Structure 1
């Protein structure tokens, strides 16, 4: 980690240690211009109902929204609050998940941990645990959390891509992200933007909506929405950021394809080609050729949750450089023969459908040999339809072969 990130974190921790001590002394915390708290844009006034919560937890609230209200928490779920502060969102989450659920609060400030633990004890919350650590290195194992929440904290990190990647890592397949944060309008004058960020307590800098979306996609989230809630100041807005990790069958995780996966991805590719019914190709391409042909936001791999071995992948290529076809892609999906009948192929296709629809792609298409009945059934399950058959379209291993053309037209984008 760079020295700059460490230095920024040290400054943030020192600042929030001081704020925690102020809260312990009975003072209300204000981390930006007081008008924002007075008119309901920040702090406890963002919540609809704090009845029954310890006064100290409510007093210490410095968020810009109510992530618990948008996270859709259910009884029995495991929740992680990034930058839990005085614990108000942890305690609200504990109410939602009930006695069968678990809520973790993670904070880098030792004094905030002390404050939160005291508030939880006062509230009689036994199913919560506060962890001392930084949001760039979450001290929890992979795929163990149902929901990650955060309230106006990600903007305080000097390594926001790492924060979102860590949130993705700890989420279970199908897990959800529900965050309130401040975002900036595109095209703001840098000096005016910096001044606005200083006024609202975001000295590290905010993200624009486009930047947030790009980082969510890079982290591996396949669905994501950003909804502005109210203006803050100087071109900044409070926003709700919701995202989801793709679902997967037991023992499988779906994540973004990485360059370090190259050897395993191409091995799965070659194993499919060796079966004789996957493609007209007979030899997997080089990684350089593969990388150049596939769109970067829509490459997913299925990996064994224990070994990390790549057992399948899906990716797309543009069908044309003409702008009218910007929302049309051609896909390939391969599952290693040793891992068939586990639901891997369907999970990969569903992840692809989610990521392409989120980015406005309206049609996914492919050609499949009619002899590849398993692939045809798989695509039918994923919502593809048969458009028609192209007869004797190419010669493969010395014989002319037909290709069944399939496509999936989105019902949510490009209408």
Structure 2
């Protein structure tokens, strides 16, 4: 179904709800048995009947969003406004709840519902969830209720959610997914014909993401702490689920995001500045960008960027320690911070994001080597759970001097446990 057809479909449902009819975007049996609509809530007693009647979600994202007083929350595909109104109640008069919807009829219905409920801290925006009309880093929490599965460009939706979230912000949505959580690594063998039939029955018109693909797209957008919890089964591997993730935290004026090819010159300049100190590595000259990327995994690469200038302030990346399958969850990492930005917490923010991202990727051991004289790096790693497991004495000559290297590792308590 094309984007315009989806808008027309939900606009018609909004008009029906405004006329006082109970609406559903899937078969009645699926709606009742799958905990769709108001069945997913237990805190709607104070809402107007019209809000409840227009509920089309597949869960209750507000229940897991951990909203706090004074926060700003954005609901992607807000429909009749039930999750916006519940969020507005939780963030209080000093907070703001935004609802974004592509249907003007749904927006009119939601605004009418908000007025009837007496909610003053809710604002409804017209637009697409692939192009959110809000500034960068302007909200604390992004929620959504059974809408992302409707998008034909889910990667763009998740990238936009990451963009508008402040560092440390949370992503918590209800959605429809395919496969089980155990399939997030191996992938499940699900009959595509049966899957399509279930998706059509429950109104998932653009196709649900497989659990593994959902995780991959969230990680590619820059999210860490990814959790997908199945909540209801609809048959043939299709489930409702709660999907949660975090935008890495960082200090004021700093954002941790995935490394891009456009960062190449700044990344390599920071690399060279670190090598020039004589305390970072046996290497003396930074590689070419082609050499850099060839030696490192395509994922688990992050930069710290200045939010006002876009300048790269530091980076972290991983390399595989072996091609043997037994070492699939073991990586070695490097981390470098711009010499003018050290002791500002940037290294800690980068390494924290890297550790969280590595656990999302199933990494159970992170290794690194540090010169004993590099006290700052040693302290940083030990503060984040790395331990010294040995010393390689006089392992190599550096500027004519034999150097020892401390071997550190961090064992995950999550991945491989």
TM-score by structure 2 length? 0.96
**Residues of 1 paired with 2:372 and 2:236: CA distance?**
59
Matches within 5 A, 1:254-269: 254-269=256-271
User: 1:38 pairs with 32, 35, 40, which one?
Assistant: 32
Q: Tell me the residue number matched to 1:330.
A: 332
Q: Does 1:49 align with 2:51?
A: no
CA contact (8 A) 1:297 1:355 kept: no
State the shift of 1:325 in Å. Answer: 1.6
For residues 75-106 of structure 1, the C-alpha deviation after alignment (integer angstroms, 9 at most, x for no partner) is 11110000000000000111111112111000
For residues 199-253 of structure 1, the C-alpha deviation after alignment (integer angstroms, 9 at most, x for no partner) is 1111211111011111111111011011110112443110110111111111100
CA contact (8 A) 1:384 1:407 kept: yes
Moved >4 Å (runs of 4+): none
CA contact (8 A) 2:36 2:58 kept: yes
State the shift of 1:36 in Å. Answer: 2.2
**Residues of 2 paired with 1:193 and 1:357: CA distance?**
30
State the shift of 1:40 in Å. Answer: 5.2
Relative to structure 2, which stretch is displaced further, 329-338 or 373-382? 373-382
State the shift of 1:407 in Å. Answer: 1.4
**Residues of 2 paired with 1:374 and 1:235: CA distance?**
49
Q: Does 1:183 align with 2:183?
A: no
Matches within 5 A, 1:401-412: 401-412=403-414
Q: Does 1:142 align with 2:136?
A: yes
For residues 278-334 of structure 1, the C-alpha deviation after alignment (integer angstroms, 9 at most, x for no partner) is 111111111111112212221110000111111100011111112222221111000
Q: Tell me the residue number matched to 2:182.
A: none
Q: Tell me the residue number matched to 2:64.
A: 70
**Residues of 1 paired with 2:262 and 2:58: CA distance?**
38
Q: Does 1:131 align with 2:125?
A: yes
CA contact (8 A) 2:36 2:56 kept: yes
Matches within 5 A, 1:5-404: 8-39=2-33, 41-185=35-179, 186-404=188-406
Secondary structure at the aligned position of 1:297 is classed as: coil
**Residues of 1 paired with 2:299 and 2:55: CA distance?**
36
Secondary structure at the aligned position of 1:196 is classed as: helix
**Residues of 1 paired with 2:360 and 2:192: CA distance?**
29
Secondary structure at the aligned position of 1:296 is classed as: coil
**Residues of 2 paired with 1:199 and 1:121: CA distance?**
33
How many aligned positions are there? 409
State the shift of 1:63 in Å. Answer: 0.5
**Residues of 1 paired with 2:4 and 2:311: CA distance?**
37
**Residues of 1 paired with 2:46 and 2:30: CA distance?**
24
For residues 257-289 of structure 1, the C-alpha deviation after alignment (integer angstroms, 9 at most, x for no partner) is 111111111111111111111111111111111
For residues 41-86 of structure 1, the C-alpha deviation after alignment (integer angstroms, 9 at most, x for no partner) is 2111111121110111110000000000111111111100000000
Structure 1 residue ranges without an equivalent (≥5): 1-6
Secondary structure at the aligned position of 2:168 is classed as: strand
Relative to structure 2, which stretch is displaced further, 287-296 or 52-61? 287-296
Structure 2 residue ranges without an equivalent (≥5): 180-187
**Residues of 1 paired with 2:211 and 2:31: CA distance?**
24
**Residues of 2 paired with 1:392 and 1:340: CA distance?**
28
TM-score by structure 1 length? 0.96
CA contact (8 A) 1:41 1:232 kept: no
